[in-house]
Amino acid sequence: MNASLRFLMWGSLPLGGVVGGLLGEAVTVHQLLWIACLGTAAANLPFVLAPAVRKLKITDDGGRADADAKQDSRT
């Protein structure tokens, strides 16, 4: 598993370098920064729009209430 993740993460770096270099030659630095901002925002959209994220709740107890309820139901 670790090797697969490393392959995906480190393997995409050369591709990103080539794409960044080509974009750097084609557009201005100002435009390139906007493209980078939009790309970063687009990369986070699947996580933000995931149904599991919408169901998350903020608790005052750091999420321990759910664990305590499970513990009580076992005894």
pLDDT in tens, 8-23: 888 888 998 898 889 8
State how many domains the chain has. 1
What confidence tens digit (pLDDT) does each residue in 22-39 have?
Answer: 988 999 989 989 998 999
Asked whether 45 and 39 are in contact (CB, 8 A), the reply is: no
pTM: 0.52
Instruction: State the residue range of the domain holding 24.
Output: 2-74
Q: Give, as one character, the DSSP assignment of residue 26.
A: H
Longest C-alpha distance within the chain, in Å? 66
pLDDT tens-digit series, residues 28-71: 989 989 998 999 999 999 888 888 877 877 777 766 655 555 55
Contact 53, 47 (CB under 8 A): yes
